[in-house]
Chains A and B, each alone.
Chain A
């Protein structure tokens, strides 16, 4: 899938996501309509990590659902490696906030569910599933059912499951929102480690500005609904980053985003 016009660009791996004029309108029961997302242009570089921040209800989840093929778009286009998204597609992995692990399968069963599409021989599938669990530090819990795992462990199995199917793009909708602060930090570090091994293009929705700046290459800030992107911040703090080493860049970026998120200024800031 080499496209001559792209060869000059810095990163050429798979997983480029392009949204142009993305508009998503919901039909409400009363016959009215609601623009959840309007005219959003956004491009994600292959293998990059992008955070999406914005006030509640601005359409972050809706954008993710559209890329995943869960909701139909009303206008514009979404392309992944120049192919228009038309529905749910295993090239796009999703990590859900409520984990969405299958409770009737063990941890390894959940990971193998994802591996089945690769049609590997059984023994190899098993090995790869164990390897995926090892990456998230849960190989000794392979036979445990999700009901017996803690929230953080469930989310680790969910990560292992999603990465195991080798998606080009990984969507995460506030994946650590339900976790306590400590578990959250270790999950963030783990995510960066696993992402570094697989290098999928990540789009990560969060309410937490620190989390966005810790994880991402780009942080896009959205205005109140119908959401548009009001500011895109290139987070060039060098990696590996540490939670306990706050740099000046970090603080600058943090202040900038905080100002944008203040309700009285989002409207004005958006037009500027």
Chain B
């Protein structure tokens, strides 16, 4: 689809969903306390905006996601390259990391709070952990499975280990690394909310929890929509940047 067509598609789909939402909310079948109308949600968003909370929450959450993502992603790439290309790291870390994989971020929240307190540290830790695993796994896979002909061609063209690593292995693995980063960004959001649901005093996740205590479903919807929009924008960002970065392999 052309960009214009795509935009039109998104707009039409969202309008359609909003109309259905409005019809259901005003039908009288469900209490509007539990299922607010689009209009009520919009008013709630305006309220939060006027209180200065909307954007400060956004900034706090984005900041946490960004720091956690950067830590997790850099470690993930580094360790992925090492476990894929050096025997020592593969044997020493591979089995351990594979055991970590099934542990969800949310299960780590209590541990993180005990270790790092309820400050920013525990949030960074939970987010970085999730991002790390996704990026590590993809980096490792991409780096370990570089096509044999590339390696053979590089060596018979006289490339030594360093050049082979930087000019062949890393670019060959790059598409997988980008996929890992994209997945990591999505997971950063999931774990962000998990981390903010307990022991936070600002952020989108905190606001959701706070709204629950006052049964403000309209405010909850604002938080959910924020998460949706942010996540989608971030994903698009990774697609665009990824396609530029690994232009020879379109995502």
Contact = CB atoms under 8 A, between A and B. Distances in A.
Nearest to A148: B248
Nearest to B148: A70
Tell me the dominant secondary structure on chain B's binding face.
Answer: helix
Interface string A89-109: 110111010101011110000
A93 B156 contact: yes
Given A102-B168, A104-B174, A68 B158 contact: no
A96 B163 contact: no
Residue among B152, B158, B163 having the largest count of chain A Cβ atoms under 10 Å: B158
Given A145-B248, A147-B248, A116 B163 contact: yes
Interface in B153-177: 153-159, 163, 167-168, 171-172, 174
Interface extent on B, as a size class? 20 to 34
Interface string A145-176: 11100000000000001100100000000000
B86 interface: no
Contacts of A147: 248
Nearest to B152: A70
B27 interface: no
A102 B150 CA distance: 7
B159 to A, nearest CB: 7
Given A100-B149, A102-B171, A165 B247 contact: no
B50 interface: no
Contacts of A98: 149
Contact of B158 (A96, A100, A116): A116
B248 A117 contact: no
A195 interface: no
A88 B155 contact: yes
Interface residues of A, number: 26
Given A113-B167, A116-B163, A104 B156 contact: no
Contacts of B153: 94, 96, 100, 102
A84 B228 CA distance: 64
B152 A68 contact: yes
Given A103-B248, A104-B171, A104-B174, A90 B150 contact: no
Contact of A117 (B158, B172, B249): B158
A26 to B, nearest CB: 15
Contact of A103 (B149, B155, B157, B249): B249
Given A94-B152, A100-B150, 16 more contacts: A68-B156, A69-B156, A70-B152, A88-B152, A90-B155, A90-B156, A92-B156, A94-B153, A102-B168, A103-B248, A104-B171, A104-B172, A104-B174, A114-B158, A146-B248, A147-B248
> 3 nearest interchain CB pairs?
A117-B158, A90-B158, A103-B248
21 contacts: A69-B156, A70-B152, A88-B152, A89-B156, A92-B156, A94-B156, A96-B153, A98-B149, A100-B153, A102-B150, A102-B153, A102-B168, A104-B171, A104-B174, A116-B163, A117-B158, A117-B159, A145-B247, A145-B248, A165-B157, A165-B158
